[in-house]
Amino acid sequence: MLLDLSEEHKEHLAFLPQVDTAVVAEFGRIAVEFLRRGSNPKIYEGAARKLNVSSDTIQHGVEGLTYLLTESSKLMISELDFQDSVFVLGFSEELNKLLLQLYLDNRKEIRTILNELAPRLPSYHSLEWRLDVQLASRSLRQQIKPAVTIKLHLDQNGDHSTHFLQTDPATLLHLVQQLEQALEEMKTNHCRRVVRSIK
């Protein structure tokens, strides 16, 4: 799977061939630090003074490199695919090898950082339900109005939360059909490939 880099990202990465490979390696270290701790303008200003360019150019270069490394790590692309993705940028062979080495050295750490940054979604704990049927009211004596009340218990980071939902049986049946369809779709080869690449 090749990376699809936008023109903006290509412009940001176009600065890399203009500097020494040691500087690119340092940019790689800064990119990983950027993921861990966030942006640090002082680092960009110091590098800009040393290289006699604007701090925005340095920042864009580091952000472009960060994007390249995070997207590659997210998709767990192979060495060959990474080389093909970078080859499109028109860099020298030495720079391509350096970028590949940066990717290989940091992809596990980047995936760990991305997993820590991912939001923790609530997980299912238990479910209680009740069927209520209104048979009549003051204005309508012959009326059947069913309703399903659901009490959903969720866990999120050790905290328990309870949600009450109420729906009619037809909507509940439609929801069940949609969920079953989604589960069936998860069994397709395409979805299996996607899930494998996410892990």
What is the percentage of the chain residues whose pLDDT exceeds 90? Answer: 22
Are the beta carbons of 3 and 75 closer than 8 angstroms? yes
Instruction: Please state, for a pLDDT cut of 70, what percent of the chain lies above it.
Output: 97
Q: What is the mean pLDDT of residues 84-112?
A: 83
| Whether pTM exceeds 0.75 | no
Q: How do residues 41-56 score in pLDDT, each as one tens digit?
A: 888 888 888 888 888 8
Question: How high is the pLDDT of residue 1?
Answer: 66
Q: What torsion, rounded to 10 degrees, do the Cα atoms 13, 16, 21, 24 define? A: -60
Q: Edge-to-edge, what's the strand order for the sheet holding 145-156?
A: 123-134, 145-156, 159-167
CA distance 102 to 28: 7
Q: State pLDDT tens for residues 13-32.
A: 787 788 787 888 888 888 88
Q: Which of 64-68, 71-75, 135-139 has the lowest mean pLDDT?
A: 135-139
| Residue whose C-alpha is closest to residue 63's, from 55, 52, 53, 74 | 55
Q: What is the DSSP string of 105-147?
A: HHHHHHHHHHHHHS----EEEEEEEEEEEE---SS-SS--EEE
> What ranges do the domains of the chain cover?
5-115, 121-196
Residue 76 φ/ψ, nearest 5 degrees? 50, 50
Q: From 93, 37, 23, 100, select the one nearest 69 (Cα to Cα).
A: 100
